[in-house]
Amino acid sequence: MKLIMTKYKLLKDFYTISIVLVFLPAICFAQDVTAIAYDNENNLFAVVDGSIKQYDAKGKEKKSIVSFGSKDNQVIRPLSLVFGTDNIIYAADTGNNRIQVFNKKGEKLFSFGNTNPEEKLSRPSGLVIDSKSNIYCSDTGNNSIRKYDSKGNLLMTFKITDKSDAGLQSPFSLAIDKQDRIYVSDIGNRCIEIFDTQGIFSGKIVSESTDEIPGNIAINSKDEILILDSSRYIRVYDKEGKFIKYFVDKYEFIQPVCIAIDKNDNTAVYDLQNKSVKVFNSSGKQNLEFSLRTDRREHSIRRTSNIFIDNKNQKWIVSTRGSRYAKYDASGKLVGSYGGKGTSEGLFDNPCGIAVDSSGRIFVCDTFNNRVEIFDSNNRYIDSINDLSFPMFITFDKQDNAYISNRGTVSIKKYDKNLKYLGEFKFGDEFSPGDIIVNKDGDICVINTPKHEVLVLSSSGEKKYSFGGYGEEKGKFEVPVSLTSDDNGNIYVYDTGNKKINKFKNGNYVSNYKAGAFFWGFGAIAAKGENMYLFYGDKFIEIPLNEM
C-alpha cells in the first residue's frame, strides 16, 4: 500500500459491488461479536450477540451494560463503541439506525441521528471522537461521514474525496490520530480515506491488490495504522501510508474482524473463526486469550476425507467441512487443529488430502482453492503448488516424489521433492482420480471413481492391473473413498456405501471387515505396523490387522 495524494480512479466493477453488498451484512448480522473497545480506564467492552458487555482483566464477563433490542434504551448489533468524558458510551446502533449514548452504568442519556428525516442515519458503523469532543460517524448507507458536537447536534456532513471521485462508497470503520486526522475504511473504493476535522480530503492509503477489502482499523500511540481486511492479515502502516510490518505475525489470525487499542498500546483482536479475543502488550507479546461466548466449541473434525500416519505414528487428519487439518499423537490424543476457512496463505476451502514427506513437511490438498499448501513441522505455512485444478489427494514415494489426484484435469500430476513438475498420467474418459497411495513395492494405487475400481500403476504411470468394480458382492465397491496398504503388500479399500473395508492381495479379494460410515462418501483409513486406523465422523478406531 502507498499514500496517494493525486487522482484515484473508483473501482466500479461488478466484483467490487458484490463484495460491498455481501461484506457489510455479514458483519452486521452473521457474526456473534460486532465490536470491541477499551474505555478511558482500559476496561474492555464488547458487543456480543447484539448486547454491550464489560470484561475484567482475565477476560471474564463482569456485567451486561446494554441489552439487545429496538426499545429506547437498547441496541441492535452496534458496529462501534467509543468512550467520551467520564466514560460516557457512544454506540453506533447499526440495527436501529441511530447513535445511542449511555453512562458507564449503561443508563441511557440521549440518542441522535434518527429524528430529522434529512439527517437520518442509515446503517451507522464507525465512531471516533476528536480532541474537542466532536463525534464523527460513518453513515454507511448514505455514503458519508457525519460530524456532531458532544450533544449530538449535527455540525456538517462530508463525503467527497478526490475531485475525480464520486465520493465515499460504503464507509465503514473510523480511526483518529493525535493530529485529529480521520481515517475512513472505504469498502467500495477499497482504500483508507483521510480527512481533517473540516471534512477536507488529505490523502488515502490504497492497496496494491484489488483483492483486499478494508475492514476495521485502529491507531496506536505511535500513530501507526492497523488495518484488518478481507485477508487473514493485520497490516501495520506509518502515518505516511508506508507498510511497516504485519501485526505480531503474518499467520497469527484466521479471520480477524474487530480490533481495539488501549492507552498503553495493549491491543485486543477478535478472531471470528477462532471465536476468541487475543490481547497483546505494546511489544507484541500475547498476554491473554479468551472466548466471548459460553458456547464456544472446538473446531469440527467431522466429514474426514483423509488420514496419514507419519514415521512417529502421529496421525494427520483432514476435516473437509471444517476446512482444517488436525494432528493426533501416537496415543490418539488431539494435539491441535490448523487452518480455517479462507483463500489466504495457510487457509483452506474444502480440503481433502494430506500427506507428510520424509523431511516432515505437511502437504494439504486445498481443493476448492486449486492448490496444495505446504507447512513445516511446526504447522507454519511455507509454500504452495498452484498449477492445479481441484486437487483431491496426495501421496509420496520413497524419493519424495509427490503424486496428486488432480480432479479438474482428470489426471495424476507428479512433482519432485523440490516441487518441480515432472508430468501427468491420464487414462481416458472413464478416469477420475480419488484417493491415492504408494505401496511397499513403489506402485501407485489410485481409486478410479467413475468405474468404482482401483488402478495399480508403475512410478512412470503405466497401468499394471485394476480390481474392484461396482457392486455389493465380495471384491466389489459401491462408494470406495479411501486406500491404504500394509507392510506385507496387502491393499485395503474403505467402501462407505457397503460399509466395509475390503482386503486385497495382488488385486485378488481376500476378506472384508464391517465398518461404520458417518456420512456417505466421507471417512478414511490408514495402516501402520500391526494396526489399521479408521476415522469417520468424530470416531477414531484402531483395528488389529490380523482381524481384517
Instruction: Determine, yes or no, domain membership for 150.
Output: no
Domain that holds residue 75: 31-112
C-alpha cell of residue 255: 479471520
460 near 443, Cβ under 8 Å?
no
Domains in the chain: how many in total?
2
Looking at residue 9, its pLDDT comes to 34
CA pair distance 457, 475, nearest whole angstrom: 19
Instruction: Determine, yes or no, domain membership for 478.
Output: yes
Point out the domain boundary residue: 112, 145, 167.
112
CA pair distance 540, 533, nearest whole angstrom: 7
Instruction: Determine, yes or no, domain membership for 279.
Output: no
Q: What is the pLDDT along the chain (548 residues), one digit of tens a residue?
A: 434 333 333 333 333 333 343 334 334 444 489 999 999 999 999 999 889 999 998 999 999 999 999 999 999 999 999 999 889 999 999 999 999 999 999 999 999 999 888 889 999 999 999 999 999 999 999 999 999 999 999 999 998 766 556 689 999 999 999 999 999 999 998 999 999 999 999 999 987 666 788 999 999 999 999 999 888 899 999 988 899 999 998 889 988 999 999 999 999 999 988 889 999 999 999 999 998 765 544 445 556 778 999 989 999 999 888 889 999 998 888 898 899 888 999 999 999 999 999 999 999 999 999 999 999 999 999 999 999 999 999 999 999 999 999 999 999 999 999 999 999 999 988 999 999 999 999 999 999 999 999 999 999 999 999 999 999 999 999 999 999 999 999 999 999 888 999 999 999 999 999 987 655 556 899 999 999 999 876 667 889 999 88
Torsion sign over Cα 273, 276, 279, 283:
negative
Q: What is the DSSP string of 213-274?
A: -EEEEEE-TT-PEEEEESSS-EEEE-TTS-EEEESS-TTS-SSEEEEEE-TT--EEEEETTT
CATH classification of the domain holding 105: 2.40.10
Looking at residue 165, its pLDDT comes to 60
Instruction: Determine, yes or no, domain membership for 328.
Output: yes
End-to-end CA distance of the chain: 59
CA pair distance 226, 237, nearest whole angstrom: 7
pTM of the full structure: 0.77
Nearest to 64 by CA among 34, 109, 105, 110: 105
Cell 439506525, residue?
Answer: 97
Looking at residue 337, its pLDDT comes to 87
Cell 451507522, residue?
Answer: 124
Instruction: Determine, yes or no, domain membership for 378.
Output: yes
Looking at residue 521, its pLDDT comes to 56
Instruction: Determine, yes or no, domain membership for 173.
Output: no
Q: Where are the beta strands (DSSP E) in 416-548?
A: 421-425, 433-438, 444-448, 453-457, 463-468, 480-485, 490-495, 500-505, 508-514, 524-528, 531-536, 539-544
Instruction: Determine, yes or no, domain membership for 327.
Output: yes
Point out the domain boundary residue: 64, 89, 112.
112
384 - beta bridge partners?
A: 373
Q: Where are the beta strands (DSSP E) in 49-200?
A: 51-55, 61-66, 80-83, 89-93, 98-102, 108-112, 124-129, 135-139, 144-148, 154-158, 171-176, 182-186, 191-195
Looking at residue 16, its pLDDT comes to 37
Point out the domain boundary residue: 112, 147, 168.
112
Instruction: Determine, yes or no, domain membership for 443.
Output: yes
CATH classification of the domain holding 331: 2.120.10.30
